[in-house]
Each structure stands twice: as C-alpha cells, then as structure tokens.
Amino acid sequence: MGSWGHFNCSYSCSFLLAPEDPLFPLVGSLFLRELTKEFGTDHIYGADTFNEMQPPSSEPSYLAAATAAVYQAMTADQSPAFPGSLPVHIPMDRTVVLITGCSSGIGLHLALRLASDPSQSFKVYATLRDLASQGPLLEAAQSRGCPPGSLETLQLDVRDADSIAAAQARVTEGRVDVLVCNAGRGLVGPLEAHKEGSVDAVLDVNLTGTVRMLQAFLPDMKRRRSGRILVTGSIGGLMALPFNAVYCASKFALEGLCESLAILLQPFGVHVSLIECGPVHTPFPEKVEGGLGGMLDRADAETRDLFYRYCRHCERVIREAGQDPEEVVEVFLQALRAPRPALRYFTTERFLPLVQLRFSDPSGSDYVAAAHKSAFHDKAAEGSDGNGAEAEAGKLGASELRAPLAPQ
Ligand SMILES: NC(=O)c1ccc[n+]([C@@H]2O[C@H](COP(=O)([O-])OP(=O)(O)OC[C@H]3O[C@@H](n4cnc5c(N)ncnc54)[C@H](OP(=O)(O)O)[C@@H]3O)[C@@H](O)[C@H]2O)c1
C-alpha cells in the first residue's frame, strides 16, 4: 500500500513542506512550474530554488501521480486563489531501501532510522547474513514504534549470489530505489598472522560482495533511470592504517569501484555515494575475521610490540573520536535526500588533514612518515614518559586486545 505525502500551499504561495521531506524536490518543482505559469514568478517565493531542483525519481507513475495532484490542487473548488492553507495529498509509493549487514551496528541503526522516519515514506528491507541474529533489530523496531510494514527482514549473504537473488525476488515492490551496501568485515593484525582463508573471506565480503550486490541491483536502476546506491566507506579506504593492510585494500578498492561507476552512471540518473566513516561504536572489532591480531605468535617480537602500541593508539582515538551509529546514519540520510548527491560524504572531519596530506605529497613519503609517527609514537596513548606501550608489550591478554581499533 502506498503512503501519503502532503504539503500545503498558503495564500502567499510559500511552501510549507519541510526541505528535508523526500517529496520536497519533486513536489516543489512540479507545483512551482504550475504556479509560475498561473501567477508569474513575482508571486512565488523561492522560485529560483525550486526551479533548480530535480525530481528524485523519473518513474512515469511517480511523475504522473504528482502532476495529477498538482492539477487537482490548481482546479479544486476551494482554491480559486489558494485561500488559507490548501492540503494536497499525493498517493505515492514509498521509497524502497535495501540494506546489507543489519544484524548490528550501522546497518541496524540505519534500518531503524528509516523505518521509523516520521514521514513514513520508506519501506526498508533489512537484510542479514543469518536471520537467527535478527532479534536485536526486531526488538529495537518494536520499541521504536516502527509502523507495521515499514521494515522487513530478509536473509542475504553477500558472499552468495543465490542468496542475493533470492532476497531480490522477495522485494514485493519489484524495485529497489536505494541500495545500501553496508556489510563488512575487519581483518586486523600483522599480515603473516592472518589465519588461513581470512584474507579471501574479507576481500570476498567487503569488495566482491559489494560487486555482487551491484551486479544484481544496478541493471534495473539503469533501466528505470533512477536509483541511489550508498556504500559504507571508511577513512581506511582513503588512507592506509598499519595492521589493517587487507581491510584497507578492500576499502581502497571500494573507492575505485564507486568512483568508476559514478562517472559512468551520470546519464542514467543513478547516484553512487560513499559514506566515509571514521571509528564508530559498533560490534565491528568483536567480529573481525580470525580474531583481533590473528595468530600473533607467527609475527616477530618487534612487530608484536608495534601491534600493541597501535592498539593503545587506537584505544585513545576511539575514546576521543568514536562516533555513535545514530550520528553516522544521519549522514546516510543526507546523501539519500540530496537533490544531487556527491560521491563522498564524511561522517567526521577529524581525519581529513591526514587524507589531504596523502594527496598533497604524491610520492607518499609525507603521509607514511606522519602515519608512522601517529600510530607508533603516540605519547598521549603511551603515557607521558612515552614508554607505556613498551612496558605493556607482551602483557596484553585477549580481553585487552578486544579494545576497538580505529579508524576502521
Ligand atoms: N565500526 C567502525 O569503526 C567502522 C568504520 C568505518 C567503516 N565501517 C564499515 O561499516 C560497515 C558496517 O560495520 P559496523 O561498524 O556496523 O560493524 P558490524 O556491527 O560488525 O556490522 C557489520 C555487518 O556486516 C555483516 N556481514 C558480515 N559478513 C557478511 C556477509 N557475508 N553477508 C552479509 N552481511 C555480512 C555482519 O553480519 P554478521 O553479524 O552476521 O556477521 C554485520 O551485520 C562495514 O562495511 C565496515 O567496514 C565501520
């Protein structure tokens, strides 16, 4: 069943629809076009702004419904001169959003945020690798009062093309307007300490899994000449972090993947955006492939020492700069609602100076030196004598190593 969007047109012709409303760009531009014809631009407040806006969907049914509502409003009995406030109801399909990796963290919070949006304009397919882990999502949806039918869970493992196809077939609307490729897995530790299969698994989830999702959903978006793709990116995809070599490789690869597609997709009306996250408070560190550090005894003592130092550094960064997922998902909404979405959105500006350093010295030397100093000579993390991490080296137990690493 479709939901109802509405806006009011007052006598002075100023629009009362909130700019954040997903209907704003479409209704604003169509309605304005008609009002301008009727009254001339002098009487229309903000005409230029509205004229600039593009409808969020070029679906014929969507445009037809909105246009019909506009004419209905223009010709309604009670509106010879738009006295007072004139409500206009536009029957429209909800924006269909499919998100991967909703068992916890960013995916879970984004699904909840959209399904409970006051506009009731989203239908959310929250997908999970394993439906047995949907409890926290469903409980939170209930306590947040998500309206019936606003949220549906589906099994979807991004490593399994059949599971992607099965989930796609269960989208009853027959289309996905917004695809959020969020599923991801960390891999942290010295390269030589990664367990058998860990490297393949992480690349398969983070990179190939995203490619599989795009291969499944992009062709229909191109055909409909409408759609948005949001990919959970990482600061670790813009600047490398020690002991995250494979994870960073996967996130760097997503940058190339998305940038390449964004260039191609311009004429198709399909937009790709990366939501670049710094450290976020989620269970991500607890789920890193092969456990934090991996098989550390395979690494030499000096590398292990540097790893412990890095852990200390990350603890501090997380403490000072870690974001809550609720804060991060608002940036997803910003991208989702932008009339002309950018390729990149940053959830925090904290790491931008280092990212910029990477580009300001194309040789890479400045960044490598600065990152080494930051990760391994972090006096604030090691204590004032600078020897804290060294003193602790070798003493850290498994529970201490569970401290979140940042930025991922
Ligand atoms: N937390 C951070 O500091 C941070 C920073 C930058 C970027 N990111 C990115 O944010 C995204 C979400 O991570 P998060 O922080 O929210 O951590 P999270 O709570 O661990 O969420 C990751 C999600 O991905 C799912 N997933 C893993 N393998 C999958 C597969 N094969 N198929 C489908 N889903 C799979 C996990 O499901 P299971 O529970 O079933 O394993 C989980 O739901 C990831 O792409 C991550 O790289 C996180």
Q: In the structure encoding, which two tokens stand for residue 171, read together?
A: 């989208």
* Ligand 1 within 6 A of CB of 101: yes
Q: Could you read off the pLDDT of 99-148 as tens digits, one per residue?
A: 999 999 999 999 999 999 998 999 999 999 999 999 999 999 999 999 98
Q: Based on the domain organization, do 188 and 62 belong to the same domain? A: no
Catalytic residue among 247, 310, 345, 367: 247
* Ligand 1 within 6 A of CB of 283: yes
Q: What mean pLDDT, rounded, does the chain reach? A: 80
CB contact at 8 A, 130 and 159 = no
**How many CB atoms are located within 10 Å of the residue 6 CB?**
14
* Residue 401 within a domain: no
**pLDDT score of 81:** 33
Q: Helix (H, G, I), strand (E, B), or coil: what is residue 231?
A: strand
Residue span of the structural domain in which 257 resides: 95-393
Q: In the structure encoding, which two tokens stand for residue 359, read together?
A: 């580009």
* Residue 406 within a domain: no
At 378, which CATH number? 3.40.50.720
Q: Could you read off the pLDDT of 380-389 as tens digits, one per residue?
A: 777 644 444 3
Those residues of the chain that have pLDDT short of 50 are 1-19, 39-56, 63, 74, 77-91, 384-405
Among all chains, which residue has been given the structure tokens 């009731």? 120
Cα(185) to centroid(ligand 1), Å: 5
d(CA 21, CA 85): 18
* Ligand 1 within 6 A of CB of 218: no
Q: Based on the domain organization, do 167 and 67 belong to the same domain? A: no
Cα(10) to centroid(ligand 1), Å: 46
- The number of domains in the chain is 2
Selection from 268, 263, 271, 309 nearest residue 403 by Cα: 309
Among all chains, which residue has been given the structure tokens 């076009």? 33
End-to-end CA distance of the chain: 40
* Ligand 1 within 6 A of CB of 98: no
Selection from 313, 316, 309, 301 nearest residue 193 by Cα: 301
d(CA 9, CA 79): 10
Where a domain ends, among 49, 76, 103? Answer: 76
**pLDDT score of 381:** 79
Q: In the structure encoding, which two tokens stand for residue 29, read together?
A: 């531009």
